[in-house]
């Protein structure tokens, strides 16, 4: 048997399950093979292909800090067959992992800069990883901002961390939710409104975005209006993906494959892709 | 090594090949109902008039193939690779389809490194090419230089009452007593393809004309039935599925061909389809062949077989579309 088969999932154990919201759970994962776990390194924005044995495989972003190495987290929203099956799994259960795949957010290029993190819904998973990385090496970066929106405050992910970050002087946190939200100070509207409402410098500032397709164009336009250039805006482009290695064709846009050249692109790269309808 | 085989002995030769132990023989057939495709000789009449409607790609990138069998145990998971080890001889593959295999070899053996599943199928297959003497009505191989090929084990070329045969590498295993050695050169054949594509700077041209009105116009006609992509010998996009066969405890993971003409190809959560318009999907199919694979692999991935034209129920013809973009 050829262990180098790129489609072969590596067994990994769920070491912890955290309930984030009514439809989202975070799973802590550890490779069964300790050597593999030791070697596991990723940049926020990269994703793994997760096998729920018996149900199939799906791409999921890594949501834990890139500096945490003994295990990694996957934050999964229950939307269909495989995600639902994953939600039934418990501590000690086995899954399969391939990856990590793709290009992440270039955290090194953010050094000495102000960073605005913008997340919509489940998009908080990958940029949340980035944010954890930034906070862990806080001294290397300028001002940090988190603008995060979800359907309702109940749907917020990482609630304990959010509370902590809200109280921290290390970062400015602004939240948005569509409905009135108990216990949270929220803007009643979209996360993209927060871009206009929040004061942050345009000079020496980069933005890190992940969210549903409708949010992305608006977010870029509003950032541009504030004076942030396309080359300083980084977006995670989540297309339908099956293989993660550039073979299945699903994530192909023009001459690029989002699982290889993406999912993280600068707004400049994004605008160079053909506009499809 | 070159040989001669009288045409009247072809049947005998195929019978010989069919008797090889542990090996299956496939050839182009006319099956019941008139469809032409590759199959075992018992499944239809040998069909050598023109190329088959269904390409031989199914032997290398099948519509559906098993990748793994998983058995979830208490503290471990059994993973079995489902490598297809069947030995096959495929007789009668036309030069354009040999070029399709060459493209797939480049993609799945070189560009990405060896794909185990594809690689084993290729290794276990003998390929017997058959040159064309007449162009079919929708062929345009001469525009793409795919009317002759080199990647075969044996090559048959019709000439008078005989076949002239070239043998390479492992093709030697298939030399028969019916063959007579010859020192004659490969017979020259001139094909007259009625359809043509001018491929000069085609990538730049189609980049510049990404929003050409022809896409919109043809998009309105297109039914998104995906017959063209299903017929295409180089289309190999796939999705990965998994199921537990009825009454079994182990699950099977498969790779199944998927088609960019279908809306589901780019559908994500919230029913958001990235290529929602038929025109976008038709353009994806054609530009992937003539533009995008040039960027990635340095080759055009259409081999000019014309199957997509023959199979299209509404007469969409990529040679006309590309001609219109160039302004003829
Ligand atoms: C790079 C990337 C990172 C992702 N990160 C996360 C994450 O961190 N957390 C999370 O919960 N989800 C993430 N997703 C989405 C996740 O992959 C899909 O929700 C999952 O595949 C749905 O599988 P399912 O069987 O449960 O749903 P299905 O029953 O197959 O379908 C439910 C819905 O999900 C969409 N979908 C199905 N397969 C995919 C796919 N492969 N990619 C995108 N959408 C799909 C379908 O179009 C459908 O609308 C990510 C997707 C990508 C491409
Ligand atoms: S695009 Fe059409 S002509 Fe070209 S290889 Fe595919 S089916 Fe044949
Ligand atoms: S065969 Fe014709 S109608 Fe069907 S998807 Fe292809 S171009 Fe469209
Ligand atoms: S996910 Fe298969 S090509 Fe990108």
Does the structure show a pLDDT above 60 at B230? Answer: yes
Work out the mean pLDDT of chain A and round it to a whole number.
93
Count how many domains chain B has: 1
B-chain residues near A9 (CB < 8 A): 79
Task: Among B77, B244, B251, select the one facing A11 at the smallest CB separation.
Answer: B77
The answer to whether residues A35 and A117 belong to one domain is no
Q: How far is A49 from A69, CA to CA, in rounded Å? A: 18
The reply to whether A158 falls in a domain is yes
Assess B314–A contact: CB distance below 8 Å, yes or no. Answer: no
Task: Enumerate residues 6+ apart whose C-beta is below 8 A from B289.
Answer: B234, B300, B301, B302, B318
b/e per residue A35-72 (b: at least 16 CB within 10 A): eebeebebbbbbbbbbbbbbbbbbbbbbbbbbeeeebb
First to last CA, chain A: 44
Does the structure show a pLDDT above 80 at A180? Answer: no
Residue A157 CB-density burial (10 A; 0-12 exposed, 13-18 middle, 19+ buried): buried
To the nearest whole Å, the CA of B87 is away from the closest chain A CA by 19
The reply to whether A264 falls in a domain is yes
Q: How far is B310 from B301, CA to CA, in rounded Å? A: 18
Choose the final residue of a domain: A37, A71, A101: A101
Predicted local confidence at residue A182, as pLDDT:
75
Q: Which of A235-239, B5-9, B162-166 has the lowest mean pLDDT?
A: A235-239
pLDDT in tens, A221-236: 999 999 999 999 999 9
The answer to whether residues A90 and A127 belong to one domain is no
Task: Enumerate residues 6+ apart whose C-beta is below 8 A from A222.
Answer: A192, A195, A196
The answer to whether residues A207 and A255 belong to one domain is yes
Q: How far is A22 from A17, CA to CA, in rounded Å? A: 14
Phi, psi for residue B28 in degrees, rounded to 5:
-70, 130
Predicted local confidence at residue B74, as pLDDT:
84
Average pLDDT over residues B182-189: 93
The reply to whether A260 falls in a domain is yes
The answer to whether residues A146 and A183 belong to one domain is yes
Q: How far is B214 from B219, CA to CA, in rounded Å? A: 8
pLDDT in tens, B41-72: 999 999 999 999 999 999 999 999 999 999 99
Query: How does DSSP classify residue A103?
Result: B
Predicted local confidence at residue B246, as pLDDT:
81
The answer to whether residues A89 and A135 belong to one domain is no
Tokens of B194: 């009625």
Mutate which of A79, A120, A235 for ligand 1? The one with the most ligand atoms within 8 Å of its CB, which is: A79
Nearest CA to ligand 2 atom 8: B305
Cis peptide before A146, with omega less than 30 degrees from 0?
Answer: no
Q: CB of B242 within 8 A of CB of B60?
A: no
The answer to whether residues A28 and A43 belong to one domain is yes
Predicted local confidence at residue B32, as pLDDT:
87
The answer to whether residues A145 and A219 belong to one domain is yes
Predicted local confidence at residue A1, as pLDDT:
42
Choose the final residue of a domain: A67, A101, A135: A101
CATH number at residue A142: 3.40.50.80
The answer to whether residues A207 and A116 belong to one domain is yes
The answer to whether residues A120 and A82 belong to one domain is no
Ligand nearest to the CA of B312: 3
Reading phi first (left if > 0) and then psi (alpha if -120 to 50, else beta), residue B304 is in left
The reply to whether A61 falls in a domain is yes
| Measured CA distances, B196 to A78, A179, B109 (Å) | 51, 60, 30
Choose the final residue of a domain: A45, A72, A101: A101
Phi, psi for residue A141 in degrees, rounded to 5:
-120, 160
Residue B218, number of CB atoms within 10 A of its CB: 22
Q: Which domain holds residue A88?
A: 10-101
The answer to whether residues A44 and A176 belong to one domain is no
Inter-chain CB proximity A276 and B280 less than 8 Å: yes
Query: What is Dmax (Cα atoms) for chain B?
Result: 68
Predicted local confidence at residue B328, as pLDDT:
61
The reply to whether A276 falls in a domain is no
Predicted local confidence at residue A24, as pLDDT:
96
DSSP A18-78: EEEETTEEEEEEEESSHHHHHH----BTBEEEEEETTTEEEEEEB-S-TT--S-EEEEEE-
Q: Is the CB of residue B220 below 6 angstroms from any atom belonging to ligand 3?
A: no
To the nearest whole Å, the CA of A112 is away from the closest chain B CA by 36
Assign B92 a pLDDT band (cuts: 50, 70, 90).
very high
The reply to whether A277 falls in a domain is no
The answer to whether residues A112 and A222 belong to one domain is yes
Ligand nearest to the CA of B103: 2
CA-based angle B48:B49:B55, to the nearest 5?
A: 65
Beta bridge partners of A12: A31, A95
pLDDT in tens, B139-168: 999 999 999 999 999 999 999 999 999 999
Predicted local confidence at residue B305, as pLDDT:
97
Assess B15–A contact: CB distance below 8 Å, yes or no. Answer: no
Average pLDDT over residues A236-240: 89
The answer to whether residues A153 and A57 belong to one domain is no
Q: Which domain holds residue B175?
A: 2-326
Count how many domains chain A has: 2
Nearest CA to ligand 1 atom 37: B268
| Measured CA distances, B6 to A26, A225, B284 (Å) | 70, 77, 46
CATH number at residue A31: 2.40.30.10
Q: CB of A87 within 8 A of CB of A121?
A: no
Q: Which residue has the tokens 């009825």?
A: B246
Q: In chain B, positions 109-168, which contact chain A (CB-CB < 8 Å)?
A: 112-113, 115-117
Assign A4 a pLDDT band (cuts: 50, 70, 90).
low
């Amino acid at each position: 048997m050829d262990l180098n088969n790129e489609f072969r999932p590596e067994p990994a154990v769920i070491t912890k399950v955290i309930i984030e919201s009514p439809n989202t759970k975070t799973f802590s994962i550890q490779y069964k093979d300790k050597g593999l776990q030791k070697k596991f390194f990723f940049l926020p924005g990269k994703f793994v292909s997760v096998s729920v044995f018996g149900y199939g495989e799906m791409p999921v972003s890594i949501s834990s800090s890139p500096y945490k190495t003994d295990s990694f987290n996957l934050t999964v929203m229950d939307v269909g067959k495989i995600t639902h099956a994953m939600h039934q799994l418990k501590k000690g259960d086995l899954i399969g992992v391939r990856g990590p795949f793709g290009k992440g957010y270039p955290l090194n290029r953010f050094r000495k800069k102000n960073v605005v993190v913008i997340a919509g819904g489940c998009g908080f998973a990958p940029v949340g990883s980035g944010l954890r990385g930034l906070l862990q090496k806080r001294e290397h970066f300028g001002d940090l901002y988190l603008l995060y929106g979800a359907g309702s405050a109940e749907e917020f992910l990482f609630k304990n961390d959010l509370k902590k970050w809200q109280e921290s002087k290390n970062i400015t946190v602004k939240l948005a939710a569509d409905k009135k939200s108990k216990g949270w100070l929220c803007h009643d509207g979209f996360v993209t409104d927060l871009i206009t409402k929040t004061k942050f410098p345009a000079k020496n500032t980069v933005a890190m975005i992940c969210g549903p397709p409708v949010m992305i164009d608006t977010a870029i336009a509003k950032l541009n209006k504030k004076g942030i250039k396309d080359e300083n805006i980084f977006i995670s482009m989540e297309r339908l993906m099956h293989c993660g290695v550039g073979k299945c064709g699903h994530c192909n846009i023009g001459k690029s494959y989002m699982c290889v050249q993406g999912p993280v692109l600068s707004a400049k790269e994004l605008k160079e892709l053909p506009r499809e309808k | 090594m070159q040989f001669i085989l009288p045409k009247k002995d072809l049947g005998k030769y195929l019978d010989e090949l069919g008797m090889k132990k542990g090996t299956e023989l496939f050839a182009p057939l006319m099956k019941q109902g008139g469809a032409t495709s590759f199959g075992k000789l018992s499944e239809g009449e040998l069909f050598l008039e023109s190329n088959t409607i269904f390409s031989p790609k199914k032997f290398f990138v099948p519509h559906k193939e098993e990748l793994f069998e998983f058995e979830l145990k208490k503290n471990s998971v059994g993973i079995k690779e489902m490598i297809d080890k069947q030995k096959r001889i495929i007789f009668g593959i036309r030069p354009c389809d040999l070029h399709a295999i060459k493209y797939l070899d480049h993609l799945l053996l070189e560009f990405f490194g060896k794909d185990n599943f594809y690689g084993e199928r290729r290794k276990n297959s003998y390929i017997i090419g058959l040159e064309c003497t007449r162009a079919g009505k929708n062929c345009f191989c001469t525009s793409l230089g795919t009317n002759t090929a080199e990647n075969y084990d044996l090559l048959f070329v019709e000439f008078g009452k005989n076949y002239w045969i070239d043998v390479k590498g492992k093709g030697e295993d298939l030399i028969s007593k019916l063959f007579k050695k010859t020192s004659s050169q490969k017979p020259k054949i001139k094909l007259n393809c009625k359809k043509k594509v001018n491929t000069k700077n085609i990538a730049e041209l189609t980049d510049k004309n990404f929003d050409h009105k022809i896409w919109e116009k043809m998009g309105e006609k297109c039914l998104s039935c995906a017959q063209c992509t299903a017929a295409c010998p180089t289309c190999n996009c796939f999705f990965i599925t998994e199921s537990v066969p009825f009454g079994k405890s182990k699950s099977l993971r498969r790779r199944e061909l998927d088609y960019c003409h279908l809306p589901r190809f780019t559908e994500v959560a919230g029913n958001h389809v990235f290529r929602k318009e038929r025109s976008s999907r038709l353009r994806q199919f054609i530009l992937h062949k003539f533009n995008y694979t040039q960027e990635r692999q340095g080759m055009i991935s259409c081999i000019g077989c014309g199957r997509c034209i023959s199979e299209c129920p509404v007469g969409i013809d990529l040679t006309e579309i590309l001609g219109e973009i160039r302004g003829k």
